[in-house]
Amino acid sequence: MRLLLLNLLRKPLRTLLTVFGVGIALFLFCFLETVLTAFNAGVNMADASRLIAQHKESIVFQLPMSYGPRIEQVEGVTGVAGASWFGALSQEPGPGGKKREEFFAQFATDIKSYLALYPEIEVPPEQLRDLMNDQMGCLLGAKIAERLGKKVGDRLVLRSTIWAQRNGSSIWEFNVRAIYATDSPTFDQTMMFFPQKRFDEAREFGKGSTGLYFVGIADPSRSTEIAAAIDSLFANSPFETRTMTEKAFNIQFVGMIGNFQLLLRSIGSAVVLTMLLVSANTMMMSARERTREMGILKAIGFSDGHVFLLLIGEALAISLLGAMAGIGLAWLLFNALHLNPKPDFFPVFYLPNGSMLAAAGLAVLTGSLSGIVPAVAGMRLKATEALRSV
């Protein structure tokens, strides 16, 4: 161990730069994994006990509200909640008298039915009671409430880019009556919900319709059967449905931007390959510089195995030090400090434990591969040949 430490400190600048290079590469790997997790947040939060029914042609088309009670009568269905995408920007005072607009997801829905389908959402009982008694009320996620600087009792003003009121105004006002939180790291806490009844009464067009239906089912193994039963109810009607699992529905949106996972993984592979080349080059240089010293070690009684472990251990130590720096920094920024470079685009942004373990595994693999060639060469080196080298 002492020899290993002395070899690492022989040229501290080179060791430091190599550790820095490995650390940066693993930090970039962790960042890409965090971005990928953010894109797949909707997929990861999906529950097998929930289905989603949308218009057969496209999600942009509405479905009649009368479909809700009919879907609820299907065998195996435990609950139904219709929801409409609101598509609005918040209107908050900004510097210089200008309005600061924030984008986040908003849905008009039957809040009580929706919450019954999502037990992971936690709302204080007294806030929920006040929300149910106020048609102007709304439910905000904890993260979007913090971003907007809102608390229970505040006024929230939104400018809808889709829905106008009967008086022609696109400005909608709400009372923040409740704020929800969740223990699930993958559940979106940047959403807003408000009563569908108020929305339907106040909007200028589209009355009596909803965007889609969230459907709870008792037995996830029957999801395909239940989805087919729901779609058969409305076959050959003017508003046919396409029902799928919540996971399949969320995958649709991820797929709209192309094979983003392949792109990120390709970039990550290039980063890891670069890290391997840097580490391997350092170890080869270090081994060549110490050829004579390895001969001396063998001459005084060190075995081939000792020399092998010394060189492979040095490579692993450099990689693991880099891993501690890179993975540790990523964990600190994304999990401890909750840094989110684009909160309006990534409602969930954290580094999963599995990705950290994968990064650590890559560090071990890199250290092993970069050190194996010089370690084998050192093990096979003859003491007499090494001592004659300059």
For the whole prediction, is pTM greater than 0.75? no
Q: What is the pLDDT of residues 58-101, one digit of tens each?
A: 888 999 999 999 999 999 999 999 999 999 999 877 666 677 78
Q: Say how many residues make up the chain.
A: 390
Rounded to the nearest integer, the mean pLDDT of the chain is: 85
The number of beta carbons lying within 10 Å of the beta carbon of residue 249 is 22
Q: Are strands 137-141 and 171-180 parallel, antiparallel or unpaired?
A: parallel
Residue with the bigger pLDDT between 7 and 190: it is: 190
In angstroms, the CA 79 to CA 233 distance is 17
DSSP 163: P
> By CB neighbour count within 10 A (0-12 exposed, 13-18 middle, 19+ buried), where does 53 fall?
buried
In the chain, where the domains are located: 2-41+259-388, 57-239
Q: What is the pLDDT of residues 196-235, one digit of tens each?
A: 999 999 999 999 999 999 999 999 999 999 999 999 999 9
Distance of CA 296 to the CA centre of its chain: 53
In angstroms, the CA 23 to CA 329 distance is 9
What confidence category does residue 282 fall into, taking pLDDT thresholds of 50, 70 and 90?
Answer: confident
Strand ranges, E, within the chain: 50-55, 63-64, 77-85, 88-90, 92-93, 99-100, 105-109, 137-141, 155-160, 171-180, 191-195, 209-210, 212-217, 241-245
Q: What percent of the chain has pLDDT over 90?
A: 48
Residue 99 one-letter amino acid? K
